[in-house]
Amino acid sequence: MSPERNKRIVSMLDKRQVDLTVCLENVHKPHNMSAVVRTCDAVGVHYIHAVWEDKYRLRGGTAMGSDQWVNCAQHDTIEAAVSSFKQQNMQVLVTHLSDNAVDFRDIDYTKPTAILLGQEKYGATEEAIACADQDIVIPMVGMVQSLNVSVAAALVLYEAQRQRQLAGMYDTPVLEEQERQRILFEGGYPRLAHLCRQKHLYYPRIDEEGQIDADDAWWEAVRKA
């Protein structure tokens, strides 16, 4: 791995926000999912979640987007997803127009936060709305009542990023060392990482210079493989 690539990956990992996430409920169009994942990566979201009913479930192994930099977790129900957020003491927000909804910019995103985004045509389900702590809306003064789900996600996430930057939350790394090492190895040495998975070899440590720090036994196992 070149020093430049190592520096870029380390800088990215230093700014990851593990207590800010998005949950896509029945969002099934690949271009929308890919756009949301790219935005999550851009603002430092490390984990993204998805829930699909059978009629919306992707076929043929379609990917949500690159999972090299953003971890993607699937849940069977929205209740299960929200339960996992609550266990992490996250406030759960849902994009939904209602009498109780507040401007998305009025939320304190420096708190641990999960943002629920509903299906492209119908929006969030009643179950998702019931599970959420707060409905949020993006103010609109035109004829249309909603934005594309990926655009809505970008607006909310960049407001979260703005608040967190002002609070200094991007200045202190919070990602666990084991996860940092996994991403450094997979991102810096993708072919060796693939080989390790194939041959059930452990991932070696990556040092501060971006070089592999492994014993002779590991290198011998790689050579034999």
Exposure of 20 in the CB half-sphere (CA atoms within 13 A): 27
Question: Is residue 62 annotated as involved in ligand binding?
Answer: no
Residue pair 26/58 in contact by the 8 Å Cβ criterion? no
Question: Is residue 147 annotated as involved in ligand binding?
Answer: yes
Terminal alpha carbon distance of the chain: 21
Q: Which residue has the tokens 């926000």?
A: 17
Residue pair 96/137 in contact by the 8 Å Cβ criterion? yes
- Residue 114 parent element (H or E): strand 113-117
Question: Is residue 24 annotated as involved in ligand binding?
Answer: no
Q: How far, in Å, CA of 127 to CA of 77, rounded?
A: 9
Residue pair 44/16 in contact by the 8 Å Cβ criterion? yes
Q: Which residues are annotated as a binding site for S-adenosyl-L-methionine?
A: 95, 138, 147
Residues placed in the known binding site: 95, 138, 147
